Structure 1
Amino acid sequence: MRALGFAIVPVLALAACGPAPDESSGGDWPDRSPRFEIVEELRADLSRRRAAADGGGSASVEELGGPAVAGRPGTWRIVYRAGPLGVAVGGAVYLQVSPFWGWSTPQTEREAAFGYTTITTDAGGVDLSAETLDQQLLAVHVRGRALEAGERIEITYGAGPAGALADRYAERDSRFWVAVDGDGDGVRELISESPAVDVLPGPAARLLLHLPSTARPGESVDLVAALVDAAGNGWPEFRGTLELRLPAGIAVADGRDRPGGDGATRKVVSLALTEEDRGRLVVPLRLSAELGGAVRVVGRADGGSPGAGFEAESTPLLVSPAGRRILWADLQNHSGLSDGSATPDDLLRYAREIAALDAAAVTDHDHWGMRFMDREPAIWRRTLDAVDRLHDPGRFVALAGYEWTNWIEGHRHVVFFELTTEAAAGLLLSSIDESYDEAHELWAGLDGVRALTFAHHSAGDPIPTDWSQEPPPGLEPVTEIVSVHGSSESADSPGVVVRGAVEGNYVRDALDRGYRLGFVGSSDGHDGHPGLGHLASPSGGVAAILADDATREGIYEALRARRTYATNGPRIVVRASYAGWPIGADIPAAAAAAGEVGPIAGVPEGTLVVRAVAPGEIDRIDVISRQSATGAGAIAGEALCPERERECSLTVTLPAFRSGGYLYLRVVQADGGAAWTSPFFFE
């Protein structure tokens, strides 16, 4: 097992040949500052000689102050036992606590500070010296004589009065990574199995209520009520009651509701939250056949003590007999198998049970983190097995994938929609493999496979996308326009714009080059909280997918057709059409010029129709367009929503579009939450 990630990962984790670009539409692409040095170091690490004693021995951990709790201090004793070849004089044992999400850096200098660590040994004549080398990395050097087989080194992490802070994100199997340089040549290797602890959630701090975004009159829907702690961790300990106030036309399926304070307009239901519920309930609701429009449910969880009451309003539900179903998905998530949090199973359970998503993908890095998936097939197999266990067609779509973490051409994640276990090993195409280190090679390797690639944080840090190669529409029909990194849409984007954005490398610049890309959001989450990355970050990302059913085939078909929109976290409902054509459509310019309309009947040519229903107050709807194949897209119109209401409708007649034009919408909440529709493209 390689251990290169010790030095490089903490700095950067937070975190080709293709069709020639159309020189008439913008000239050369800007300099993106590719990170050649990272690729060189990763490849050099693979070629370094490992001595037989490197990575030898075993380790265990003891929790001295009780179980680890997210973001709270504790004390842990890690005991290393030397392997058969021992550790030579000049060699070292390394402790790397997770370098990503808030563990204190182990240090031996300041007893009163977080992370103070003591080192002892039972080996007489062995002298130990320790030093902090990097973020969360401690080296224990062997002096005096060699550490022999079976001899021990005890590392007490959090030994001072302040203790050491645990990861702020709850997870099972949080590793204390132990590596060994057995011969003293400066090259280290992880031991075969580093010890781990479970990090528990903190106390409940917030109530979340999720309804589906669309339903038909007379249908039944589930309300998912979930308490989370201050960092968004799910399943905190909680015991109390959940009171729901239901609008007219909605009833609890088992009839436990009763008239409320608003008489006929609202009903109240009170439900018990037991310790076994771990702060989560699914409440089945019936919609009346007469119900229509946008509805919301208000709730309060009460733990029976001061500070233990939490109120919330649900995400909006639009009840209508027409329109495609909106599925919510998070298609990019990293687990503890690379540089994220949680096991793949727990990550998918959070998506389904806490965030109430319809679909989620596990996309750990190919060659990044503490262990490298492209070098250890067992890691990839764990992802595949978790996806198989959690996939439930019609209710929850679990997807397998990985991130092609290319530091020269930009990061893309690959998501599979039909993948047999037998084929999986041959489809993990590594970004540091010289056969697949260019985007056109990745796409060629996936040719004929039911998979899609997604460029992300394409405008800026940690590495912008090389847009000089036009993505093949069959493999990359949409792009991740927003995530926890921020928006890559444009410099005038609402909300947080990705850091280090390169002028001329935004997604809108790619559209101006003639690329036809739909929009999705996804969290690029590393916190184990798919669909809810915005709870702990200034920005998040989710994908709204307009599909007929919650199946892999249905989602794949919708993505290929660009029937999608993105949000930076809030579940904003957007219905939009242009001359009867749905978002993402290729509209024949000749048809538009002739006044022909699309598949949605009754909409005049040139008419844009929009309806938005949001969790928060809507500030405006922006219309972004380019009328023809020349020039640049820009804000063509801005519709302010009266009195900042949470519903806003827009009907406007636009000038005729010519071939090469495009049009998309931004729905912007007053608090910075936003949605971006996939563009309408004019052929």
Structure 2
Amino acid sequence: MATKGAIAALPLLALVLTLAGCGDKAADKAKAEAEVTAKAEAASPYPLKPLWGDTHLHTANSSDAFALGARLGPEDALRFARGEAVTSSTGIKAQLERPLDFLVVSDHSDGLGAIKAIYDAPRLMLRDPTLRRWHDMMHEGPAGMQKAAGELITGFANKTLPASMMDPSKNAERTKTIWTDQNAIVERYNEPGKFTSFFGFEYTLMPDGNNLHRIVIMRDGKAQADKVVPFSSTVGTSVDQLWDYMDTYEKTTGGQILAIPHNSNVSNGLMFQLTQTDGKPMTAAYAARRAAHEPVVEITQIKGDSETHPFLSPNDEFAGFGQAGWELGNLSMTQLSTPSMYTGNYVRAALQHGLEIEAKTGVNPYKFGVIGSTDSHTALSTADENNFFGKHAGVEPSATRAMLPQSLGKAGRVGWQYLAGGYAAVWAKANTRAEIFDAMKRREVYASTGPRMTVRLFGGWDFAPADLQGDWVKAGYARGVPMGGDLKPAGKAGAPTFIVSALKDPIGANLDRVQIVKGWIDAKGATHEQVYDVVWSTPATRKPGANGKLPPVGDTVDLKTATYTNSIGAPTLQTVWTDPAFDPAQKAFYYVRVLEIPTPRWVAYDIVRYKAKVGPEVQLKSQERAYSAPIWYDPKA
């Protein structure tokens, strides 16, 4: 929903927001974090359970969210993520069934808090007649709010706004006030060992409507975060400039920072290119810079799933998840998509591109882990199908939201095509900023489309089924590498072996199967992929057919009640798998995909709760899933 450009000038108009703050207790927080980490390390030298969070959430401080009805701020978002009950922007009680472990409030850097400031300003203090007119329009209701926001966008795009509104120095000055006030709230809710709140923002780069957004996250405390202002796409119009900003942050503050590319499925091929941003051939230095700054990618969220596409993976019967509507065009729908763009839109193809580039330059720019997040613009971080509050306040729970047009341009998307979102799972030893951030840097992370499945992957050379009878996690770390790691050549004949384990969400659906997706590059430079079913439920009666495919797991969904039963599937699936087609001379990657049994989508719950009327094309059930970060094999490592 973000729009590059016009909104970015608005912080020049922003009034100081009076946000509840607290004193800087950096020393106390640092001490508490160190104590939590020391206690965790004494208990185990490696992570024992995943931490669940959302790295991509918007509040009323995002101008597009506010324009679309969001009235909850950062504090509401943090309270909700911690498990407290709040009232949504449309007056509905909202609460998570289970709290999250961490949250990044990632409001758009372009126009941070601007439309809210115009709306909240006393009318008499707005001397500019245009600002006063916009203020009045916003208070007329949703139609007026939309019209005022549209005028701002058009005015910026056509450069018809007053010159003072484009002044970068004033922009930064007023953005800083909102940023530091927000930081005070974020710091107050950070509680090492119990709940982690990160400082972050969304860099909203969107040339011609093509999504190149990044979530930027800081490892550090308020003192470091307050020294900068969020980087706007009106200041830097390429990702290279964002990396420059990140380098400067680390040099000037002594802190650490990373960026997460998100929602690549609507980038029209630009997110994962074979070239540099200037169109020149990718160099080793450029590839290394991208890999260092962007160790994690968002593979799934409300606006669709970015794992792969049936056009790219025709032999993968599960490749179409979350595609409906989102494959039509770019984010703003100002440009339609063509199949030639798909390789730059999807994560699996990017992992293959990485092998190609590495073969030419010696460096892989797309060696990243994967996470999910919501991209909710309601301040409510929920990815649960039975508790979905919509992309923005205009589509919070109601009888009509599933069929509401969601088009931003000339072609249409419809409400039911939204996914309920995604979550990020992180294998960190302790619930602290440092531990979670460091796990992201080493790529020991995985993505879920919502359910909180526990997924582990280890790669090595001598794992055997007997390992699963003992402390296989200890064996995995001692004799192999976890997800996100690099598997070095064994120095002897044989294929790599992988310990794979998946446990169902404790309050969710059983599991259908676990798959390993392998990608590799051959001696001629061509890339390939293969999806292997490595372990599945009811193996005694469910055998691969002549085509090598497993029959479906079954379906217990009752759409009349929006329910399902766990009478099929399995609560736990584990195995030790050996690559049957391993070539020690070929670069390769391996990642896990875990599939649940079919369950109702949020639309099915709306039909039952609100008697919603939907068309026959609407998807009412799906197989939720999780994706692990890959393990890479390099014969020359």
Contact in 2 for aligned 1:335/1:528 (Cα 8 Å): yes
Structure 2, unaligned runs of 5 or more: 19-38, 84-95, 116-170, 277-286, 311-318, 328-340, 355-365, 391-418, 461-475, 539-567, 600-622
Among 160, 185, 191, the residue aligned to 1:392: 191
Among 563, 573, 587, the residue aligned to 1:660: 587
Find the residue that maps to 2:198 and give its secondary structure.
strand
Letter matched to residue 421 of structure 1 = A
Shift of 1:382: 2.6
Shift of 1:499: 4.2
- 1:251-262 alignment to 2 at 5 Å? none
Do the aligned partners of residues 462 and 412 (structure 1) sit closer, same or farther apart at CA in structure 2, a change above 3 Å counting?
A: farther
* Residue of structure 1 equivalent to 2:110: 367
Do the aligned partners of residues 473 and 594 (structure 1) sit closer, same or farther apart at CA in structure 2, a change above 3 Å counting?
A: farther
- Identity in percent: 26
Contact in 1 for aligned 2:368/2:484 (Cα 8 Å): no
Do the aligned partners of residues 682 and 458 (structure 1) sit closer, same or farther apart at CA in structure 2, a change above 3 Å counting?
A: same
Letter matched to residue 193 of structure 2 = G
Once residues 459 and 533 of structure 1 are traced to their aligned partners in structure 2, the CA distance between those partners, rounded to angstroms, is 22
Shift of 1:466: 5.1
- 1:548-563 alignment to 2 at 5 Å? 548-563=429-444
1:541 maps onto 2:422 in alignment = yes
Letter matched to residue 612 of structure 1 = L
Q: Deviations over 1:234-265 (max 9, x none)?
A: xxxxxxxxxxxxxxxxxxxxxxxxxxxxxxxx
* Residue of structure 2 equivalent to 1:644: 569
1:621 maps onto 2:423 in alignment = no
Among 365, 368, 376, the residue aligned to 1:517: 368
* Residue of structure 1 equivalent to 2:242: 442
* Residue of structure 1 equivalent to 2:300: 482
1:507 maps onto 2:341 in alignment = no
Letter matched to residue 300 of structure 2 = V
Do the aligned partners of residues 609 and 437 (structure 1) sit closer, same or farther apart at CA in structure 2, a change above 3 Å counting?
A: same
Letter matched to residue 245 of structure 2 = G
Contact in 2 for aligned 1:362/1:383 (Cα 8 Å): no
Contact in 2 for aligned 1:410/1:463 (Cα 8 Å): no
* Residue of structure 2 equivalent to 1:155: none
Letter matched to residue 665 of structure 1 = V
1:584 maps onto 2:483 in alignment = yes
Contact in 2 for aligned 1:407/1:463 (Cα 8 Å): no
Letter matched to residue 421 of structure 2 = G
Shift of 1:623: 1.5
Do the aligned partners of residues 626 and 422 (structure 1) sit closer, same or farther apart at CA in structure 2, a change above 3 Å counting?
A: closer
Letter matched to residue 76 of structure 2 = D
Q: Deviations over 1:263-302 (max 9, x none)?
A: xxxxxxxxxxxxxxxxxxxxxxxxxxxxxxxxxxxxxxxx
Once residues 197 and 324 of structure 2 are traced to their aligned partners in structure 1, the CA distance between those partners, rounded to angstroms, is 28
Do the aligned partners of residues 636 and 645 (structure 1) sit closer, same or farther apart at CA in structure 2, a change above 3 Å counting?
A: closer
Contact in 2 for aligned 1:657/1:682 (Cα 8 Å): no
- 1:9-20 alignment to 2 at 5 Å? 12-13=1-2
- Kindly tell me the number of residue pairs found equivalent between the two proteins: 375
Shift of 1:349: 1.2
1:454 maps onto 2:454 in alignment = no
Do the aligned partners of residues 463 and 663 (structure 1) sit closer, same or farther apart at CA in structure 2, a change above 3 Å counting?
A: closer
Find the residue that maps to 2:591 and give its secondary structure.
strand
Shift of 1:654: 1.1
Query: Larger strand proportion, structure 1 or 2?
Result: 1
Letter matched to residue 176 of structure 2 = P
Shift of 1:651: 2.6
Q: Deviations over 1:201-234 (max 9, x none)?
A: xxxxxxxxxxxxxxxxxx9xxxxxxxxxxxxxxx
Once residues 511 and 320 of structure 2 are traced to their aligned partners in structure 1, the CA distance between those partners, rounded to angstroms, is 13
Do the aligned partners of residues 481 and 654 (structure 1) sit closer, same or farther apart at CA in structure 2, a change above 3 Å counting?
A: same
Contact in 1 for aligned 2:300/2:447 (Cα 8 Å): yes
1:465 maps onto 2:268 in alignment = no
Once residues 583 and 80 of structure 2 are traced to their aligned partners in structure 1, the CA distance between those partners, rounded to angstroms, is 44
Once residues 193 and 452 of structure 1 are traced to their aligned partners in structure 2, the CA distance between those partners, rounded to angstroms, is 28
TM-score normalised by length of structure 1: 0.50
Among 630, 634, 637, the residue aligned to 1:679: 630
Once residues 639 and 494 of structure 1 are traced to their aligned partners in structure 2, the CA distance between those partners, rounded to angstroms, is 21
Letter matched to residue 555 of structure 1 = I
Once residues 463 and 428 of structure 1 are traced to their aligned partners in structure 2, the CA distance between those partners, rounded to angstroms, is 26
Once residues 513 and 594 of structure 2 are traced to their aligned partners in structure 1, the CA distance between those partners, rounded to angstroms, is 6
Q: Deviations over 1:623-671 (max 9, x none)?
A: 1102446413332336432241222223322133545200001101123
Do the aligned partners of residues 661 and 482 (structure 1) sit closer, same or farther apart at CA in structure 2, a change above 3 Å counting?
A: same
Once residues 425 and 491 of structure 2 are traced to their aligned partners in structure 1, the CA distance between those partners, rounded to angstroms, is 27
Among 228, 231, 237, the residue aligned to 1:426: 228
Determine which structure has greater relative contact order: mean sequence separation of CA pairs < 8 Å that are 6+ residues apart, divided by chain length.
2
Contact in 2 for aligned 1:483/1:521 (Cα 8 Å): yes
Do the aligned partners of residues 40 and 361 (structure 1) sit closer, same or farther apart at CA in structure 2, a change above 3 Å counting?
A: closer
TM-score normalised by length of structure 2: 0.53
Once residues 448 and 320 of structure 2 are traced to their aligned partners in structure 1, the CA distance between those partners, rounded to angstroms, is 11
- 1:565-580 alignment to 2 at 5 Å? 565-579=446-460, 580=476
Among 316, 322, 334, the residue aligned to 1:496: 322
Once residues 586 and 194 of structure 1 are traced to their aligned partners in structure 2, the CA distance between those partners, rounded to angstroms, is 44
Structure 1, unaligned runs of 5 or more: 1-11, 14-37, 51-188, 196-218, 220-319, 596-603
1:610 maps onto 2:410 in alignment = no
Contact in 1 for aligned 2:10/2:114 (Cα 8 Å): no
- 1:139-158 alignment to 2 at 5 Å? none
Once residues 385 and 346 of structure 1 are traced to their aligned partners in structure 2, the CA distance between those partners, rounded to angstroms, is 14
Once residues 16 and 498 of structure 2 are traced to their aligned partners in structure 1, the CA distance between those partners, rounded to angstroms, is 62
Once residues 442 and 325 of structure 2 are traced to their aligned partners in structure 1, the CA distance between those partners, rounded to angstroms, is 30
Shift of 1:427: 4.4
Find the residue that maps to 1:426 and give its secondary structure.
coil
Once residues 661 and 554 of structure 1 are traced to their aligned partners in structure 2, the CA distance between those partners, rounded to angstroms, is 28
* Residue of structure 1 equivalent to 2:76: 346
Once residues 583 and 193 of structure 2 are traced to their aligned partners in structure 1, the CA distance between those partners, rounded to angstroms, is 39
Larger radius of gyration: 1
Contact in 2 for aligned 1:547/1:554 (Cα 8 Å): yes
* Residue of structure 1 equivalent to 2:530: 634
Contact in 2 for aligned 1:410/1:466 (Cα 8 Å): no
Among 338, 344, 356, the residue aligned to 2:99: 356
Query: Larger helix proportion, structure 1 or 2?
Result: 2
Shift of 1:463: 9.4
